[in-house]
Chains A and B, each alone.
Chain A
Amino acid sequence: AQSVTQLGSHVSVSEGALVLLRCNYSSSVPPYLFWYVQYPNQGLQLLLKYTSAATLVKGINGFEAEFKKSETSFHLTKPSAHMSDAAEYFCALSGGGADGLTFGKGTHLIIQP
């Protein structure tokens, strides 16, 4: 069975501060891991993905994530938050191939001016 746990349903940071969104996973097979962003009334947009090539993954809009197998984690970070980063963020897992994604419950990122 696969599962994804996102710690913190809401995270609030000041503009310019470090963003850290936490994701832990459970998988019986080597996972493929993804971070998606969802703006209000829009679909999901892929931020970045881990596909076993490199443990530190860089994505769009200055985000990056590090895969840590020993900690079963895939936390998302951004050095300096921007107001436009305010959105819902989802961590997701796939067992590979055309499998459907298993999502976490999401983290709502709030940016304080």
Chain B
Amino acid sequence: EAGVVQSPRYKIIEKKQPVAFWCNPISGHNTLYWYRQNLGQGPELLIRYENEEAVDDSQLPKDRFSAERLKGVDSTLKIQPAELGDSAVYLCASSTSGSDYNEQFFGPGTRLTVL
């Protein structure tokens, strides 16, 4: 079974430029998460999708960040414009519903460097 796929793996941009990250979850997983991991820190949740609906986006900086999950499968996270402080690893995770807790499976992440 294929795992969570993310692309690109690495991205270097100059500040004020736009950038987008793509995630393909594990087949059949209806819940998708985006996390941001700053250097030396644990991941922090940005947004959670149930199918195509964003059900928890309270930590997403909505002035410059946006996300979408069309058709409830793939998802894209966008930053426009990027700032120096956005340099981090952006992790995508997916899970399937139906239990008391949902075990999350993580992709390899996209490492963003903003110059």
> A residues within 8 Å of B by Cβ?
4, 9, 32, 36, 41-46, 49, 51-52, 90, 92, 94, 96-106
| CB contact under 8 A between A98 and B95, given known A104-B42, A105-B40, A105-B42 | yes
Specify which chain A residues have a CB less than 8 angstroms from the CB of B107 in the assembled complex: 43
Residue pair B101, A43 in contact (C-beta under 8 Å): no
Q: How far is the CB of A25 from chain B (nearest CB, A)?
A: 13
Whose C-beta in chain B lies nearest to the C-beta of A32?
Answer: B101
Count of chain B residues with Cβ under 8 Å from any Cβ of A?
Answer: 29
Which B residues form the contact surface with A (CB < 8 A)? 4, 31, 33, 35, 40-45, 48, 50, 55-56, 91, 93, 95, 97, 100-109, 111
Other than the given A44-B91, A98-B48, A102-B45, 7 more pairs (CB < 8 A) read A44-B93, A46-B105, A52-B100, A98-B97, A100-B35, A101-B45, A105-B41
Q: How far is the CA of A94 from the CA of B105 in the complex (A)?
A: 14
CA distance A51 to B44 in the complex (A): 21
Q: A106 touching B97 by the CB < 8 A rule?
A: no
Asked, given contacts A103-B43, A103-B44, whether A46 binds B50 with beta carbons under 8 Å apart, the answer is no
Can you give 13 contacting A-B residue pairs, CB < 8 Å?
A36-B106, A42-B108, A42-B109, A44-B91, A94-B102, A98-B50, A99-B56, A100-B48, A101-B43, A101-B104, A103-B42, A103-B44, A105-B40
Residues of A within 8 A of B4 (CB): 43
Scoring A42, A51, A99, A101 by chain B CB atoms within 10 A of each residue's CB, the highest score goes to A101
Rounded to whole Å, the gap between the CB of B31 and the closest CB of chain A is 5
- Least Cβ distance of A59 to chain B in Å? 13
Chain A contacts for B45, CB-based, 8 A:
100-102
